[in-house]
């Protein structure tokens, strides 16, 4: 079968179809077949096949495991609502930064985060005056 100007062997076509029928995502099919996600996206779209997405379990608010598990106190009981929002933002950013660069330590991140908060709140206070 022809795909994006190139011929796809019947074996590769069957392999992709089998993986798609198993509920694999475009990324998983690409990893297993050794092609780009874009190639799988185009292949799937040209055949009118539906997108398979992995469902992600939504976490409870205030990230209770990370706080309650370590301290024995739920974050909502230990912090004000504003402090809870700041902590949620901090944890979200910490996880994002860690996922992008495993070499950045928590201490470095906290230092930069404090600078960010101080600059943000100082600018906000000046604007409100």
Across the chain, mean pLDDT equals 76
Distance of CA 76 to the CA centre of its chain: 25
Query: Tens digits of per-residue pLDDT, 43-73?
Result: 998 899 998 887 766 554 445 455 565 666 6
pTM flag (> 0.85): no
Distance of CA 20 to the CA centre of its chain: 22
Residues of the chain where predicted confidence (pLDDT) is lower than 50 = 60-62, 64
Residue 21 has a pLDDT of 93
Q: Are 34 and 15 in contact (CB under 8 A)?
A: no
């Amino acid at each position: 079968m022809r795909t994006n100007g190139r011929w796809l062997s019947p074996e590769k076509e069957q392999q992709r179809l089998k993986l798609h029928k198993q509920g694999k995502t475009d990324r998983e099919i690409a990893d297993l077949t050794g092609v780009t996600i874009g190639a799988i996206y185009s292949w799937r779209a040209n055949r009118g096949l539906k997108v398979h997405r992995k469902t992600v379990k939504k976490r409870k608010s205030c990230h209770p495991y990370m706080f309650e598990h370590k301290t024995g106190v739920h974050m909502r009981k230990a912090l004000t609502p504003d402090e809870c929002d700041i902590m949620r933002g901090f944890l979200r950013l910490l996880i994002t930064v860690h996922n992008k660069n495993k070499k950045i330590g928590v201490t470095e991140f906290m230092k930069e985060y404090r600078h960010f908060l101080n600059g943000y709140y100082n600018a906000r206070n000046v604007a409100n005056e």
